[in-house]
């Protein structure tokens, strides 16, 4: 088996920034987007890394994403704002939201920003992690167009609506949960397809909403735990999309010309933790909680007891040293884009 | 098979109130607690209904619950409060929290109350439903002592930490999701035990943390979707318990004399929905979303496509007319308590 080529994160960062600048983003926004993608790569969430660059091009071409958005608050209150993202890239809109949240949380104890019409929010844990590093307890959710099954139905009715929760950690790294509401991710279905591996039963439907284990036919992931996963995904749509009057599921089922166009809404909240409890006590209690759980006997089938985000932190520390592996197929796609825009491909280190 | 006796909800309400008054609650609190339990019974959540009355007695006897709590705000900000519940019964503490949330949401757009040291919070959807009826988007969570497995461990490391999300509905009833983070509830394990039915594989561990399908040995429910369910449960503990300095998991694993004593913390949030979007548009969009999903072909293995809470609403409407069935075993327990306190048992209607 051929080893993937590896790249330093700073080389990847520079490369991605160059492309984003070339295709119309401001230099500041290009940096912001590249950082979000490369942090996903560093943490091993390679489905949300530089492999998404071709998707960004597609979004710009179809008009789904706006490289020069007019991001502005359309509804404000002391602790909550509705932010019109004007089809900004997710990382760009979320950065504006984070700033508002920090201000509101300082003023009132909590800040919530409901973001309307963003595109490709990227890995949610990235944003909650950053807020937690500022001392905030943070919760984030995103709603997208249907692609996951709704319990009791045949076919897609909801998105795999992710949810992330982060708290400041006892050491430098926050504790960050970042999960989708699906029993299997859409990316995993694609991976089974490319490797022609059968999909475990109960995890997917085909285009007609029939259960399947055939990787060439599986297109619709099933929800986590049936009604719980799809119920959670529906509620995420109701609280993040409908409260900002950008209903995605309703639009998907309508005859609107934009029915199937990519669009998202995001929901980002932060609580000013140490206004409500002592910092040292909080950190001590988080540590004691995790250590308590880790003191249990290990299930050898799993091999290890990990806190949410711990695996990603470890991967990041390793990849910062050893480099980020990029599969040949992704490199080829990126190579074509680089050639088209006359940009140098990054140099690999191994 | 013998049919369970049925009772009107008002007769059950009166009966439960009488007991709660006799055992030391104020008349107002007795009414509040009875309402929460009987609404659970009406909605078919019989694990959280009048069958819990014996548990209340036990909690009072052991001192885990305080019938005359000094509930007070210990930390306040414009949008967030920490409420010391002083081991109040859940429904009593949550009622105080709801009032604070309504005020704060009116003032700042959002209200969050983190409730410290409550006991037996009862069905979370009851509280989010009530806030949604007032026009608020609501989210609630509760943390308890460990009883559910943590992914990768043998044994209990987290609670089945429930989460509820509610939004105002297009008609009278809000849309309410109320779910635990477990793959199976603790109550369901007990039910399999009493009926001597094997438990489907992968859903439970025994006292030693080994997987089991034997209903007489299964004591620990597994988390929903492995790391997702137990990760969510852990985050609920971190944001609801540790932020109010009442860490339950850490205490459980300590040598404290209260290590295993029942205690909970609750987290209740409300957003002033119609400050941020038009009410008619919101209601129309909620309806279109649910109708869109219901327009999908039905999976005949499930039989029906339901919105979160819809089954419970239907059950409530039916039980309001036909009465609430109470199993003979529960009636017997309640009969002993009634006799002890010289209270009349409610008259059954069928």
Q: What ipTM was assigned to the predicted interfaces of this complex?
A: 0.96
Task: Give the β-pairing of A324-326 and B264-272.
Answer: unpaired
B282 shares contact with chain A (CB less than 8 Å): yes
Phi, psi of B20 (to 5 degrees): -60, -35
Phi-psi category of residue B28: left, alpha or beta, with phi > 0 → left and psi -120 to 50 → alpha: alpha
CB B265 within 8 A of CB B246: yes
Please state, in angstroms and rounded to a whole number, the distance separating the CA atoms of residues A9 and A313. Answer: 15
CATH code, B1-62+322-350: 1.10.1530.10
B233 shares contact with chain A (CB less than 8 Å): no
Local confidence band at A200 (pLDDT 50, 70, 90 cut-offs):
very high
When scoring B124, B158, B177 by the number of chain A Cβ atoms within 10 A, the one with the most, hence best to mutate, is: B177
Which of residues 28 through 67 in chain B touch A, CB cutoff 8 A?
none
Per residue in B21-30, pLDDT tens? 999 999 999 9
For residue A302, give every residue at least 6 positions away whose Cβ sits within 8 Å of its Cβ, in sequence order, or none. B151, B152
CB contact under 8 A, B242 and A286: yes
Q: How many CB pairs under 8 A join A and B?
A: 277
Around A201, how many Cα atoms within 13 Å sit in the side-chain half-sphere?
0
Question: What does the block give as tokens for B330?
Answer: 């529960």
Please state, in angstroms and rounded to a whole number, the distance separating the CA atoms of residues A347 and B218. Answer: 56
With a pLDDT cut of 90, the percent of chain B lying above it is: 91
For residue A249, give every residue at least 6 positions away whose Cβ sits within 8 Å of its Cβ, in sequence order, or none. A143, A145, A146, A157, A158, A159, A234, A237, A241, B289, B292, B293
**Burial of B343: CB neighbours in 10 Å, binned 0-12, 13-18, 19+:** middle
Given a cut of 90, is residue A299 above it in pLDDT? yes
Chain B neighbors of A252, CB-CB under 8 A: 292
Fold of B68-183+222-295: Ribosomal Protein S8; Chain: A, domain 1 (3.30.1370)
Q: What is the DSSP string of B270-301?
A: EEEGGGTS-HHHHHHHHHHHHHHHHTSPB-TT
Q: What average pLDDT score do residues B186-212 get?
A: 92
When scoring A238, A243, A307 by the number of chain B Cβ atoms within 10 A, the one with the most, hence best to mutate, is: A238
CB contact under 8 A, A152 and B247: no
A204: distance to nearest CA of chain B, Å? Answer: 13
pLDDT of residue A214: 97
Cα dihedral B240→B243→B246→B250 (10° resolution):
90
Q: Please report the beta strands in A33-79, taking only residues with DSSP state E, as ranges in sequence order.
A: 72-76
Chain B neighbors of A278, CB-CB under 8 A: 245
Please name the member of B153, B245, B247 whose beta carbon is closest to the beta carbon of A293: B153
CB contact under 8 A, B75 and A158: no
Which of residues 201 through 230 in chain B touch A, CB cutoff 8 A?
209, 224-225, 227-229
Given a cut of 70, is residue A1 above it in pLDDT? no
Q: What's this model's pTM, rounded to 2 decimal places?
A: 0.97
Fold of A65-183+222-277: Ribosomal Protein S8; Chain: A, domain 1 (3.30.1370)
Q: What average pLDDT score do residues A19-40 get?
A: 97
Please state, in angstroms and rounded to a whole number, the distance separating the CA atoms of residues B163 and B7. Answer: 30
Q: What average pLDDT score do residues A238-267 get?
A: 93
Q: What is the DSSP string of B18-36?
A: HHHHHTT--HHHHHHHHHH
Q: What average pLDDT score do residues B294-318 get?
A: 97
Given a cut of 80, is residue A168 above it in pLDDT? yes
Q: Is A115 helix (H, G, I), strand (E, B) or coil?
A: strand
Given a cut of 80, is residue B133 above it in pLDDT? yes
For residue B240, the chain A residue with the least C-alpha distance is A137
Q: What average pLDDT score do residues B307-312 get?
A: 97
Per residue in B159-177, pLDDT tens? 999 999 999 999 889 999 9
Given a cut of 90, is residue B85 above it in pLDDT? yes
Q: What average pLDDT score do residues B143-171 get?
A: 96
Local confidence band at A112 (pLDDT 50, 70, 90 cut-offs):
very high
Beta bridge partners of B266: B115, B142
With a pLDDT cut of 70, the percent of chain A lying above it is: 100
Around B49, how many Cα atoms within 13 Å sit in the side-chain half-sphere?
23
pLDDT of residue B30: 98
Enumerate long-range contacts of A193-198, CB under 8 Å, 24 or more apart: A193/A218
Fold of A1-62+311-350: Hypothetical Oxidoreductase Yiak; Chain: A, domain 1 (1.10.1530)
Local confidence band at A261 (pLDDT 50, 70, 90 cut-offs):
confident
CA distances from residue A41 to A46, A252, A318, B222 in whole angstroms, order as listed: 5, 31, 12, 31
Task: Give the β-pairing of B80-89 and B110-119.
Answer: parallel
CB contact under 8 A, A153 and B82: no
Per residue in B221-275, pLDDT tens? 999 999 999 999 999 999 999 999 999 999 999 989 888 888 899 999 999 999 9
Q: Is B58 helix (H, G, I), strand (E, B) or coil?
A: helix
Please state, in angstroms and rounded to a whole number, the distance separating the CA atoms of residues A277 and A178. Answer: 25
pLDDT of residue B212: 97
pLDDT of residue B350: 79
pLDDT of residue B153: 98
Domain locations in chain A as residue ranges: 1-62+311-350, 65-183+222-277
pLDDT of residue B1: 60
Q: What is the DSSP string of B223-283?
A: BTTTHHHHHHHHHHHHHHTGGGT--HHHHHTS--TTTTS--EEEEEEEEEGGGTS-HHHHH
Q: What is the DSSP string of A66-110?
A: -SS---EEEEE-SSEEEEEEEEEEHHHHHHHHHHHHHHHHHHHSE
Per residue in B110-131, pLDDT tens? 999 999 999 988 889 999 999 9
CA distances from residue A253 to A247, A249, A265, B296 in whole angstroms, order as listed: 10, 6, 17, 10
């Amino acid at each position: 088996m051929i080893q993937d080529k590896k790249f330093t994160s700073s080389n990847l960062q520079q490369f991605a920034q160059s492309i984003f600048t070339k295709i119309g983003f401001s230099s500041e926004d290009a940096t912001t987007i590249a950082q979000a993608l490369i942090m996903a790569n560093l943490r091993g969430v390679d489905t949300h890394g530089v492999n998404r660059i071709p998707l960004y091009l597609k979004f710009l071409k179809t008009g789904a994403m706006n490289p020069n958005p007019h991001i502005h608050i359309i509804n404000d209150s002391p602790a909550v704002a509705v932010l019109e993202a004007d089809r900004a890239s997710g990382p760009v809109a979320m950065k504006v939201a984070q700033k508002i949240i920090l201000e509101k949380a300082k003023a009132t104890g909590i800040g919530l920003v409901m973001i309307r019409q963003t595109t490709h929010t990227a890995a949610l844990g990235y944003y909650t992690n950053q807020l937690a590093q500022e001392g905030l307890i943070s919760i984030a959710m995103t709603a997208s167009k249907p692609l996951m099954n709704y319990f009791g139905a045949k076919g897609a009715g909801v998105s795999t609506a992710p949810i992330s929760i982060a708290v400041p950690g006892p050491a430098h790294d926050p504790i960050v949960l970042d999960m989708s509401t699906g029993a299997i991710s859409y990316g995993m279905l694609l991976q089974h397809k490319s490797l022609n591996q059968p999909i475990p039963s109960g995890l997917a439907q085909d285009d007609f909403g029939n259960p399947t284990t055939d990787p060439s036919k599986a297109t619709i992931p099933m929800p986590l735990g049936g009604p719980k996963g799809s119920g959670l995904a529906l509620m995420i749509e109701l609280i993040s999309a409908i409260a900002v009057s950008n209903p995605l599921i309703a639009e998907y089922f309508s005859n609107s010309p934009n029915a199937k166009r990519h669009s998202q809404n995001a929901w980002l909240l932060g609580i000013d933790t140490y206004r409500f409890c002592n910092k040292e006590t909080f950190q001590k209690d988080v540590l004691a909680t995790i250590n308590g759980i880790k003191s249990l006997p290990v299930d050898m089938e799993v091999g290890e007891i990990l806190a949410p985000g711990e695996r990603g932190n470890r991967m990041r520390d390793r990849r910062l040293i050893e480099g980020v592996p990029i599969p040949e197929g992704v490199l080829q796609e990126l190579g074509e884009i680089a050639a088209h825009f006359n940009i140098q491909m990054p140099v690999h280190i191994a």
